Amino acid sequence: MSRHIYRCPLRWSDMDAFGHVNNVVFLRYLEEARIDFMFRLAPGDGSPSFAGGSVVARHEIDYKLPLVHRHEPVTIESWVTKIGAASLTIAYEVKDTDADGSERVYVRASTVVVPYDLEAARPRRISAEEKSFLQEYLDDGGAGDRAGRQGTRGAVAA
């Protein structure tokens, strides 16, 4: 199983009154990592995979540690925990790795994504090409359960 790594820059505007990354901003960080994963890593040159659109059906976020502003980007590691006929679940860890190899995890999260046909204005099934790509990142051994059971729920455009 592979994991996708995205390096997300921190912005001063991301901070709350206490100098930490605002809890809502983490959703944007996850979105940036998800878009990088689904669109830049989509299989094949000119492939229509993932290009037709998608919607977020659910987010779950566990905030573990405060993340303060600094000039270095933070790492967002993501992988797939479930592939259904018409949805997939992506898990994430927003973290840093220290020089000694130890990790500081700021957020564990997961997102249920539904592929969407923008022209027909309805959900669609995951294509065989998309499924093949996603299976390279599939970890169905419970890693997604680390994201927890509480979070922010709703349907928003991805």
State the average pLDDT over residues 44-61.
80
State the average pLDDT over residues 102-119.
94
State the average pLDDT over residues 89-115.
95
State the average pLDDT over residues 144-149.
42
Q: Tokens in use for 38?
A: 């689904």
State the average pLDDT over residues 56-60.
96
Residue 91: which of 47, 38, 139 has the closest Cα?
Answer: 139
Residue 93 to residue 62: CA distance in whole angstroms: 10
Is residue 26 within 8 A of residue 92, CB to CB? The reply is no
| pLDDT of 143 over the 80 cut | no
| pLDDT of 147 over the 90 cut | no
Is residue 107 within 8 A of residue 93, CB to CB? The reply is yes
Q: pLDDT of 21-44, one tens digit each?
A: 999 999 999 999 999 898 766 656
Instruction: Grade residue 47 by pLDDT with cuts at 50, 70 and 90.
Output: low
| pLDDT of 100 over the 60 cut | yes
Instruction: Grade residue 150 by pLDDT with cuts at 50, 70 and 90.
Output: very low
**pLDDT number for residue 45:** 59
| pLDDT of 113 over the 70 cut | yes
Q: What are the backbone angles phi and psi of residue 130, rounded to the nearest 5°?
A: -65, -45
